[in-house]
Structure 1
Amino acid sequence: MRPKVSVVIPFYNCPYIEHALQSVLSQSWEPYEIIVVDDGSTVHTDLIRPYFPRIHYLGKSNGGTASALNHGILHATGDYVAWLSSDDLFYRDKINNQVLFMEQNNLFISYTNFNFINAQSQLVQMNASLLFPSHLDYLRCFLQGNPINGCTVMFKREVFGAIGFFDESLPYTHDYDLWYRAILNGYAPVMLNQSLTAYRNHEGMGTLKYYDVIMAEAAATNARYKGPLQHLISSMGG
């Protein structure tokens, strides 16, 4: 039976939401459901209304991206869950290629390469993800920072029962934290080296506005898991 894919889109006052929705609706592998979690938006909600017949809209009070993701995942019913930020885009074969990759390799979590685009959706950089010569090099990278773009990730929905959900106390590094927990529980994300997502750089993005805060939070997250990951790497001969 063809696997079902739920796409979860956290939304908060984002003027690019239409582009995100159109990219999901244009997939060659039609998603089973598109879940838009409105995290207490006060503007741009009118951009979502034309899509109501084709999406599941979940409104909630503002709690941050991790809260919105968890809310969407808990309501998802697909075999797989893909996360897309409301300012980014999926390329047409994103779901198709990633599901086939996961099915063929019996994976619980995968991620892909990606391209950078600008505010006008123009291509800025292709294949922006880091590549690693070995699995140990990949694991070592986490000791320095987060090498995975969250909006390229696809999960088997059942994996959240093993690794938990996004930590809602972390406004910015909830993804980094989850990758650490996935690795330490034997579910390390595996890369599909195809650029299937477009990541938008624009003036309103949080990674630019809150850079110093994000770096401090990332350092704290790294400190929390550094010891166990170093032990795992050593046990693998690294």
Structure 2
Amino acid sequence: MNQIDISVIMTVKNGSKYLESSLSSVFSQTYLPKEVVVVNDGSDDDTWEVLKKLRHMAPVQVQLVDTQGVGRARALNLAVNHTRYPWLANIDADDQWLPEKLAQQVATISLFPNVELVVTASQIVYGEGEGELVISRGFSVTPMGCDSFYVNNPINHSSILFSRRFFDEVGGYDEALFRQVDIDLWVRALRKGFIFYQVDLPLTVKRLHEGQSFEVGNRLSYTFNSLKISIKKLRQLKAPFYYFPIAFVKFFYNNIPRSIRRRLKRVSLWKL
């Protein structure tokens, strides 16, 4: 396996509740990164104090950057600008990695020397749940082109490992955007001809909880913005026309309360 030097980036705003589990999952990697850069984006809870405590427990260097609140995209760009190594991995402050996450991605880079971005499959947990630690499937990798993005955004932002060259060539995160800045980056990369690779193991844990903007009184605004981004994405990727109605179906579905959506999913799985 080639030696890959990795900087991990994180941005956080009022995210102290899950910070320890998130950063502990980074510190527990079998393939340790060289450093972690955390941007505190104007938190008014105890996030900064928790970060300072966790920094002293870290097995790698941790840089802390404090701001008065610059917004998601700018905070991500700021984190990248503070990194020192050629490969970058993002983790959101409420998500987790399984211990082999970075190791499997580094193995993928060794197999595909021209790769610029590697992601992993993900698993979902709700509230304070924990991800499944037992991985039974063998190692496999799937390339992801434009058609992988027509229906959904298949990339969990916490699963990415990408080169600094990729980031600079695509132009970084668009600071004019306030939400879903990741899908905008993927679309710009796809239009430039980049191909992504996915490790087909759920090595990243995506946490869904009531503190997220999707669930805190902003559902309609969030999903309407998602609809606009989806339509723009389909146009930019020149998707077949029959994918466009799917974006509207998803808009209506996502405005159903989460509890009902989860019941619908269970019914669907039972019928299958």
TM-score when normalising by structure 2: 0.75
Matching residue's letter, 1:212? L
State the distance in 1 between where 2:148 and 2:220 align: 20
Give the CA deviation at 1:123.
4.0
The answer to whether the aligner puts 1:69 opposite 2:76 as a matched pair is yes
State the distance in 1 between where 2:105 and 2:119 align: 8
Which range is displaced more, 60-69 or 173-182?
Answer: 60-69
Residues 139 and 120 (structure 1), Cα distance of their counterparts in 2 relative to 1, 3 Å cut: same
State the distance in 2 between where 1:218 and 1:188 align: 23
Residue in structure 1 matching 2:129, options 111, 121, 133: 121
Residue 179 of structure 1 contacts residue 188 of structure 1 at CA under 8 Å; is this kept in 2?
Answer: no
Residues 25 and 66 (structure 1), Cα distance of their counterparts in 2 relative to 1, 3 Å cut: same
Deviations 1:59-97 (A, max 9, x none): 112122222111111111112101100011111111111
State the distance in 1 between where 2:213 and 2:196 align: 24
The answer to whether the aligner puts 1:173 opposite 2:173 as a matched pair is no
Query: RMSD of the alignment, in Å?
Result: 2.5
Deviations 1:94-125 (A, max 9, x none): 1111122123212101211111123223348x
Deviations 1:138-191 (A, max 9, x none): 623523332211111111111112111111222222111111011001113221
Residue 112 of structure 1 contacts residue 191 of structure 1 at CA under 8 Å; is this kept in 2?
Answer: yes
Matches within 5 A, 1:49-88: 49-53=52-56, 54-88=61-95
SS at match of 1:56: strand
Give the CA deviation at 1:231.
7.3
Which range is displaced more, 212-221 or 162-171?
Answer: 212-221
State the distance in 1 between where 2:29 and 2:143 align: 31
Give the CA deviation at 1:206.
2.3
The answer to whether the aligner puts 1:215 opposite 2:217 as a matched pair is no
Q: Which runs of 5+ in 2 are unaligned?
A: 136-141, 241-272
Residues 226 and 96 (structure 1), Cα distance of their counterparts in 2 relative to 1, 3 Å cut: same
Give the CA deviation at 1:58.
0.7
Higher gyration radius (CA): 2
State the distance in 1 between where 2:3 and 2:213 align: 36
- Would you say how many aligned residue pairs link Structure 1 and Structure 2? 225
Residue 147 of structure 2 contacts residue 239 of structure 2 at CA under 8 Å; is this kept in 1?
Answer: no
The answer to whether the aligner puts 1:46 opposite 2:53 as a matched pair is no
Matching residue's letter, 2:38? V
Residue 187 of structure 2 contacts residue 233 of structure 2 at CA under 8 Å; is this kept in 1?
Answer: yes
TM-score when normalising by structure 1: 0.85
Give the CA deviation at 1:216.
2.3
State the distance in 2 between where 1:60 and 1:183 align: 32
Q: Percent identity?
A: 25
Residue 111 of structure 1 contacts residue 154 of structure 1 at CA under 8 Å; is this kept in 2?
Answer: yes
Matching residue's letter, 2:31? W
Which range is displaced more, 33-42 or 197-206?
Answer: 197-206
